[in-house]
Amino acid sequence: MGLINKDKDEIYLIVGLGNPGVKYELTRHNIGFQVVDFIANKIDEKFKRVQFNALIAKGSYKGKKIILTKPQTFMNNSGQSVGSLARYYKVDFENVIVIFDDVDLPFETIRVRSEGGSGGHKGMKSIIQHLGNSQEFPRIRFGVGRPPGRMDTADYVLQRFNKEEEKFIDLYIQKASDAIFDIIENDIVHAMNHFNGS
């Protein structure tokens, strides 16, 4: 599946999806960036390097190498950076973990999947295309809920979380991060069993 990692040590490419720029920082669409920022802080690393038009931070967890990634191409072209990084570091697609916002899930919901389509998410669609149309890579779907009334979905995800959601956002960011650590430490099946439905 995917590329063969020729290195002795396993490498995980952990991708948070979002848009670059201050005005997008705390929006629903940028929750992927927030999750990888949390992980970087947890492992005491910083995003100090730009490679293939992505901010990256290198570190390790439980003896396994990880590359935290925030594509700077804007959401719809995220796959350009992800595909290039996966190939450069010879990361097997099974070890490319993507975190993104999902309007089809309620706010308090985290879902771990081992594979699947884009679900209409343009960032995920771009990644699938740039990984040779492979859908066989893990992803963390972070529920942000449906837009109220007749609000356009694009407008909704580019807004910040409301005051009630902000009370709990740190808790769910930690939960998504824990799911990623579980995948690395154990495996995708263990993470799905532990986090889906909880």
Which residue numbers are catalytic?
29
Separation of alpha carbons 144 and 108, rounded Å: 8
CA distance to 5, 7, 75, 103, 150, per residue, from 100 (Å): 25, 28, 10, 10, 23
Separation of alpha carbons 47 and 28, rounded Å: 21
Looking at the DSSP bridge assignments, the partners of residue 55 are: 50, 70
Q: In what order do the strands lie in the sheet with 49-51?
A: 49-51, 54-61, 64-71, 11-16, 96-102, 139-143, 110-113
Looking at the DSSP bridge assignments, the partners of residue 71 are: 54
